[in-house]
Structure 1
Amino acid sequence: MAEVEEIKNLETNKCKQNKRKPWDDGPCLDRWEIEKFDPSWNPSGMLEVGSFSRAYPKRREKHLLKCWPRVKSALEEHGVSCELNVVGRYMSVSKTKMTRDPDIIVKARDLLRLLARSVPARQALKILEDDMAYDIINIRRMVVGSKEDFLIRKIRFLGHNSSSLKALETSTNCFIRMQGNTVAAMGSFRGLKRLRIIVGTCFRHDIKCVLWMS
């Protein structure tokens, strides 16, 4: 336990920028608050057309074909058009004359990335909300060693029947999906920041996730 506390202090105080500032402790200050967009702020729409595309693996094709009508309907509500190209195996989104929120095209791009990362469509669509964010953590780069060492730490991080992962989801209030060498997570900025610290500490220093949360 002493080792865990030591690493926690190291991760928290490793940068001078982490020192408290006088303006950080206001009684009514919430640095994590996200103001929701109102379409009346931009009644004339966008001046330029922008688009993004994202390739997806073959194994995701069946799921994407099934959920694409729901994805298309959700994006059209925000004035964004989308296309699923099965031949080229890629997804694309683009702004239209009905687009009002300048940030929605970026969120639509993030949606494509989450769908390609094996996140279920029902969960991935939540990224279109103003107070929802996501993070993709490359856990393979955190382990200096063989593939076997990485797999051992990965199994230890998941816990028996993914019990540790479920406990971490409850603790950070984030959705977590581990796929291959990465961890995809969705939640608030506060929760994602805490999650990245925990994941980095567990994989770099080979510490059980349960010990950190306790």
Structure 2
Amino acid sequence: MTFSTTRTRDADLIEKARDLLQLFTLAVPASQAITVLKGRHWDVMKLGYQKDGLCSEFGINKEKFHERMKLLCHRSLKEIGDLILCYICIVGDILVALGPVNSVKGIRIIVKDCIVRGIPPASRVKLVKDAKVRVQTMKRLEDLRL
């Protein structure tokens, strides 16, 4: 696969093009990957036994890994992604998250807790939903005071 641009010396644009090519190689849909050119943040997490993967780093055996991957069912990740406005894609043992910086960091924490400690993400979905409801309620109360 090749990626070409017109003559440019803009280092930022070249860096974004490199990032875009990397996302394409990870099978991220083009509609999501192109948002990186507009400044969207992204993160790649290796979950399995590859170099720097969570399982190899923390010594998790294959049985536990497969059990914990089932906890990360696509429904819970999709719910979390929808709540915090983040796109999440799992390809094999690699997770890609695209979105605001805080959302991407939050996804990293949730996935690490699930794979390393066995904490189901469903409990995090409930916490995020409750926090959103609290924030909306506080905003409504502030609007009433004015």
Give the TM bin, normalised by the shorter chain.
Answer: 0.7 to 0.9
Percent of residue pairs bearing the same amino acid type: 34
- Cα distance between partner residues in 1 of 2:45 and 2:116: 13
- What is the number of residues matched between the two proteins? 119
Q: Distance in 1 between matches of 2:110 and 2:5?
A: 37
- CA displacement at 1:180 relative to structure 2: 1.2
Match of 1:171 in 2: 83
Q: CA deviation at 1:204?
A: 0.8
Unaligned runs of 5+ in 2: 127-146
Q: Which residue of 1 aligns with 2:62?
A: 147
CA distance in 2, matches of 1:196, 1:170: 15
Shift of 1:119: 0.6
Instruction: Answer with 1 or 2: which has the greater Rg.
Output: 1
- Supply the distance in 2 between the matched residues of 1:147 and 1:179 (Cα, whole angstroms): 17
1:213 to 121, 125, 130: 125
Q: Deviations over 1:125-156 (max 9, x none)?
A: 111102x0110011123233322221111111
Conserved 8 A contact 1:138-1:183: yes
Note if contact 2:71-2:114 (Cα within 8 Å) is conserved in structure 1. no
- Residue 113 of structure 2 is matched in structure 1 by 201
Task: With the length of structure 1 as denominator, give the TM-score of the two structures.
Answer: 0.52
CA contact (8 A) 1:157 1:209 kept: yes
| Aligned mates of 2:84, 2:110 — CA distance in 1 | 10
Please identify runs of 4+ aligned residues in structure 1 that moved more than 4 A: none
Q: Deviations over 1:35-91 (max 9, x none)?
A: xxxxxxxxxxxxxxxxxxxxxxxxxxxxxxxxxxxxxxxxxxxxxxxxxxxxxxxx2
Higher relative contact order (CA 8 A, sep 6+): 2
State the alpha-carbon separation in 2 of the partners of residues 136 and 126 from structure 1: 16
Cα-Cα RMSD:
1.7
Contact kept in structure 2, 1:93 and 1:105, CA below 8 Å: no
